[in-house]
Amino acid sequence: MTRNTMRALWNQIATSLKTKFLVVTICVFGLVALPAYAAFEFLTRKTVVALGTLFAEKQVLFDRYRGLEALIREVSLAETVARSPAVRAWARDEADPDKTVRGLAELEHYRLSFHDKSYFFVVHESGNYYFNDADNNYNGNQLRYQVKRDNSRDGWYFKTIAAGQACQLNVDRDDNLAVTKVWINCVITDQGRILGVIGTGVDLSEFIREVVALPQTGITSMFVDRAGAIQAHRDPGMVDFHSLTKDTKTKKTIFQQVDKPAEAGELAAMMARVSAGSRMVESRFMNIGGREFLVGVGYLDRLGWFNVTLMDIDAIIDRRLFTPIALLLVFMMTAAVALVTILFRRVVLDRLAIVEAAARRVEDGDFDNIVVDRGSDEIGRLSRTLSGMAHAVRDHTRILEDLVDERTEKLRRLANIDLLTEIPNRRGFTQVFEQWLARSPLVPRSAGLLLIDLDDFKDVNDAFGHLAGDRLLCETARRLAPLLTDRDICARWGGDEFVVLVEDCDQDGLRALCARMVAAMNATPIRSDDGQDIALTVSIGGCRVVSGSSIDAAFAEADAALYAAKRAGRNRFVLFDADAGSALDAVVTAKA
């Protein structure tokens, strides 16, 4: 928007009551709209949060049961195998061939019942690791290797037996078998004695595809362990493999995804509360990756995992559902502004327009044709008051016009007259001089311009006071007056200087007039209040002026001549010689 447009808009607001009222009304409704909008946003958010929280709880429970359904059967079956007498007898006495055959037969029997059709079994006493897969590739050769404490790849086993839990889940890649699975590790114990670890695995890709990666708009599900390490996620790059054997600082945890440390702490507290059983599900809003999500947390108590669900509420609950309500509110407020403006125009503005028209007639001098509003309110009283005022103004107008004309003439005279000497001042002289220069430029005319300066005027003021100086100024004006004609003009130029314009005067006449002026000043001294005589002398600089010339050039020549007179000793006159171009090269000096 340009500056001119802004200025025009501001003028419109400043000069129009209608525009002002409209702007004020819009501002008032705007101020009302701000808290209304805030309240609308608050209620909308509360509604969205309430619906989102309810949805989050249902979603978390849904994910929880999906996770349990996929894994709990495998855990239960692994626990059943761990309680098998044949397996336990084999673990206590692995050297007995018969017990080994019966134990392997028992494992092969249950292998077909596992979803993955595979099992593993570690005998604690020897560290022997037995395994067979769905394709029965290791039939008759189930002993694959030995787990050892000094082998970092076998750390999962020793972490499992040290945890003190019956069964644990671990997402891991078995480097010996070259498989990545969600491993179910169940510890076999006998009266506090560890016999080994038995379990099975669920293919991680299949688990993610069936449980985690279901296509749901705005929803991201994952499973984490007690340390927050991500065990299952639709993005395999987010999964924390070997989480049992990793140092806490190197794990890929859900806490690392949360933007704010305080919210990460609150997420840990939520996990602690749901694992303690105080609530099945908890949810709250958190910032993850620069966006706000509703985070829901549930606990799979049989598995030791947490299912964490991230919900983008804006994607799940379309806020455009609330658009009709917002549009209705905007329409109602717009209609209210329009209605108030129309009522204000009919009740106030139209009647004020009648009063304004009457005032304009008074302004134009028409005091009789005034329409009066007969209302009993403020506008009606204002209209009647204006009518009475118009008649009073009509009566006083003529008197005021006469007084104004008289005062104007007095002011004009005061503006051009020096109050001390009662002769024209600098302003009055300049106007007359400029008029003379501009008059009849086709007919050549000439005049004389004289600058008159009182000699040693400052010394008089210092010695006799300013009253004596004023007396000298007045006496100078009085003595100059008889020497001039009616067409000449004498004025006080300023301070102790006078200026004279002598019309129709040649060089000889101007020289004679200057001589008479010097003589008139020297005629008699001025007597001071204490009886002392004060000599009155002047220095005069003059020049010839022709019509159509410049006022500045004329004064420059006269001033140069005046300077020459002072330099020559004062109490004399010098005329500027236009042919010589200098008051110093060719001067005519006369001493009274």
Helix axes 17-82, 323-344, angle to 10 degrees: 170
pLDDT at residue number 405: 74
pLDDT at residue number 592: 39
Would you mind telling me the total number of residues written for the chain in this entry? 592
* DSSP H/E element including 142: none
Where exactly are the structural domains of the chain?
324-408, 421-589
Nearest to 79, CA basis, from 185, 193, 195, 201: 185
Cα-atom radius of gyration of the chain, to the nearest Å? 57
**Any idea what DSSP says for residue 549?**
S
**Any idea what DSSP says for residue 577?**
B
What superfamily does domain 421-589 belong to in CATH? Reverse transcriptase/Diguanylate cyclase domain (3.30.70.270)
**What's the CA gap between 471 and 468, in Å, rounded?**
5
Q: ∠575-580-586 over CA atoms, to 5°?
A: 45
Residue 40's Cα: distance from chain center in Å?
A: 24
**What's the CA gap between 509 and 342, in Å, rounded?**
83
The three-class DSSP label of residue 188 is strand
The three-class DSSP label of residue 583 is coil
**Any idea what DSSP says for residue 70?**
H
Strand partners, 299: 306
**At 319, phi and psi to the nearest 5?**
-65, -15
**Residues of the chain with confidence (pLDDT) below 50:** 584-592
The three-class DSSP label of residue 241 is coil
**What's the CA gap between 515 and 484, in Å, rounded?**
13
Residue that has been written with the tokens 């996929």 in this structure: 70
pLDDT at residue number 585: 38
DSSP H helices in 112-228:
155-163, 204-207
pLDDT at residue number 5: 73
CB 281 within 8 A of CB 296: yes
